[in-house]
Chain A
Amino acid sequence: MDTPKKITDIQTASIVISSIIGVGVLPLPLFAVRAGNTAAPIVTLIGIAISLFALFIITVLGMRHPNKTIFGYSEEILGKWLGRFCNIFVILFFALLTALGSREFGAVVTTAILRETPIEVTVLVMLLLAAITSRNDLNTFAYIHTFYLPVIISPVVIIVVLSLQNANALYLQPLLGNDIGDMFKGSLTIASLCQWSFVLTIIIPLMLNPKRAMRTGMTGLLIAGGILLMLVVASVAVFGAEETKKLLWPTLELARTTTLPGDLLQRMDVVFLTVWVTAVFTTLLSGYTFICHALSGLFRLRDHKIFSFSLLPIIFVLSMLPGNLLQMYKVIEFVGRFGLIVTIGYPCILLAIDLIRNKRGKRSAPTNM
């Protein structure tokens, strides 16, 4: 890699946080409540724990090979061709994830604010935005994530705080759920929302201090997880479990119930949604950049820029595949859970083989925290 190693700890944590917090946050309480009723917070916690494990695996791998991305060391561990074959699946999965993310947000925008605009336009605008920006190098990518972080976190915090006036602690009880199987399934869905943190695998080799990747990555994920948990708790506390099940995007409804003191603006949800464009953009940017860099790694190219626009039609077509909103969410849930094989299973296998062969990177790093 020619880009100088300059990504700092704060930037790494920001990348993890703003990649995770994206459009998936809008239906998040619904997923959690469907799986566990009032136990939704517990479901979320388990989901975060699963993704912490996933992050742990990829960070250990990254720290064992501090100069290589996942596309570099997987070929080293599995052999050139098998490694490439597996990596194609990773790329395909992320292409699908990015496509579905943009589609989901396009659906939100056409439903909530731009009712007369065709969904194709809103999706294309978001994808274009990500494509244009993905032409920058990874250091700029890190600057972008750091810069937007306050814009992403503050609306969520404001909405959670403001919605507390309508909250009822009784709605949160009982804390524990009944159906363990359902709860676990829901946790997997929530873990799948966090798999954007997989982008860390291409960031670690550019970190100023790769040894601290574990700490910063985990901190980032914990902050993002905390925000997700706050949202789930707030929407269950405001609407109750049964009511939440009827809402498509409970987070958006949460914004709708809140008003700013002073009656400056009548409705908050539109403002929330427009600010939210930033969060969705950073998430899509992570996905898009990941694919571009992965492809250039796969084809041994120095420049990732050629992929940024040539990929656009493919991702756009992928995003248009689901017929309607309900079908889309079925696909999202399925793809998300299937993706856990890619983002947890695959790195686990890599790590296991790596440990067995004990084939270390150039600068070996301690494997535990």
Chain B
Amino acid sequence: MFLFRKNRKKLKTKPMEQKAAQNGKETITLRDDLQDSVTYLEKFLGQNEDIVFRHFRIFGNFSAFLCYFSEHANPSEINTDILKPLMYPPEHIEKNPPDISNLVEVMIKEVLYQSKVKTITDWEVLIEGLFQGDTIMLIDGVNSGLKIGTRKLKERSIDEPRTELVVLGPREGFIEQLGTNIGLLRYRLPTSDLVIKTMKIGKFTKTKVAVCYIKSVTDPELIKEVEDRLSKIEFDSVLDSGIIEQFIEDNPYSPFPQIQTTERPDRTVGNLIEGRVAILTQGSPFALILPTVFNQFYQTTEDYTNRFLMGNFIRMIRILALVFSLIFPSMYVSFIAFNPELLPTEFAVAVSGGRAGVPFPAVIEVLVIEVAMEILREATVRLPQQVGGALSIVGVLIIGQAAVEAGFASPVTVVVIAIATIGSFATPVYTAAFALRMLRFPILILAGTFGLYGVVIGAILIFNHMLSLKSFGVPYMSPVSPPDKEGMKDVVVRSPLWKMKSRPRFLQPQDIDRVGAKTQDLRDRRRVPGPFDDSN
């Protein structure tokens, strides 16, 4: 301490003001005077309950100071891997003690049992590290600090994704911690082609956001565009990937999601390989996948993991459900209210018999039941799980049975609404199902005004809107329109895997081929003769 008196005299003001005055820039470099820095730190952070300040002597000789946030860093690691070797140095150090000029180098190279150590001269970086769970160490007489990675976060275990369940397929889902999520991607893609770039967004939250893509496949222009849009976000709190989505999507006023969110690492990897970009956000279990086209919203990973016929059967059922969820109630209204002559006579009689006691026009009836259904659905999501089950039974009973008996709705109406609602649950991507749920109401009103003509007008409006949408420059309805021959193999029906020879062309991948020559040969022969083959 005495040795450095001289220096202290120079340093009357706080380190912060000192540097700012010097060159007008924001960077504040560290001074070598320990006491000064400590006073500054204590003044700056001392009121926090969870901060730990610790003075000690390195090798019994050099005054040093260490601080970390106790709940954010791992104290036992700090004790055994940092403090212990420094206070109780190895033998060769004791024999040949370093002096102040090479102290830091010796410490990093020979003493500390920690892989993530950095020498840092910038105060700001040091403090930021502190807030992220790193430990910072200052040594008297050294004008740089050490940032040691001792971060330890509480995280939940990797769980089955809640929103995207599959019967056959991996059971892992993303969690909130970015590091774990990157790990989930890395082990599925053990290749140097996978690039993960991180940046920090949010004035207060300083959320770490990772842009992932496959170097040799993804269109460089797309990557540039994504990074460009991300870098333009200046917002105080980025708490979830949904907030980032709203800042980078093309048309914020469209009901349709232009970026896919997924909880599934396997789905993310599949999309990366097709040439898309994934954005992972610290604190959010949802990855953003872009660019997105509409047909992704009825595809699931199961379509591909299942065998050809089964996968396609399920997919067609799903498309049917999607169409039902959108237009089934409005079709019903227009048939009943405008064109009952279209129905077969017996059925028309039965329907009108059921509606005999209902005083409202068909539109009102359907609208009321629809609204009741939406309320019920929202309530079941919010309620605690134990109550939720009971409520849905009560709700179904009330709305189904009692409404019919009270003459509030006809039985056919209830059936129709039920099919539409179940249909919307079959849409695998929640955000897309939401869009269709919402659009059901305007179409219903159009159907009530113009009948089938109104339904078609509504459908045309929706399709035109979808055709004009773009997601990061890719038309939303690709590969249907603009048509793409290879892409058509995965629209309504997917081709067998070996026949989908190229990546979607609308993503402009650098490398188009998916299937190697050997597989193509094998599959062309169709059948490899087996040992029990008679014809062989």
Contact = CB atoms under 8 A, between A and B. Distances in A.
B242 to A, nearest CB: 28
Interface stretch (B77-85, B462-470, B507-515, B522-530): B462-470
A219 interface: no
B450 A277 contact: no
Interface string A237-276: 0000000000000000000000000011111001101110
Interface residues of B, number: 26
A133 interface: yes
Contact of B339 (A10, A113, A117): A113
A126 B326 CA distance: 22
B468 A140 contact: yes
A266 B467 contact: no
B457 A114 contact: no
B345 to A, nearest CB: 7
B452 A270 contact: yes
Nearest to B339: A270
B460 A277 contact: yes
B456 A144 contact: no
B345 A129 contact: no
A73 B219 CA distance: 38
A277 to B, nearest CB: 4
B342 A144 contact: no
Nearest to B464: A133
Interface stretch (B66-74, B392-400, B476-484): B476-484
Interface string B442-476: 00000000111101110011011001100000010
A256 to B, nearest CB: 12
Contacts of B480: 147
A132 interface: yes
Contacts, number: 84
Nearest to B454: A125
A125 B468 contact: no
A122 interface: yes
B450 A125 contact: yes
A274 B456 contact: yes
Choose among B455, B467, B468 the residue with the greatest number of A CB atoms under 10 Å from its CB: B467
Interface string A99-135: 0000000000100011001000010010001001100
A113 B342 contact: no
Contacts of A266: 341-345
A8 B338 CA distance: 41
Contacts of B338: 113-114
A307 to B, nearest CB: 18
Contacts of B483: 8, 10-11, 146
Contacts of B455: 274
A322 to B, nearest CB: 22
A143 interface: yes
A142 B483 CA distance: 11
A101 to B, nearest CB: 16
Contacts of A132: 461, 464
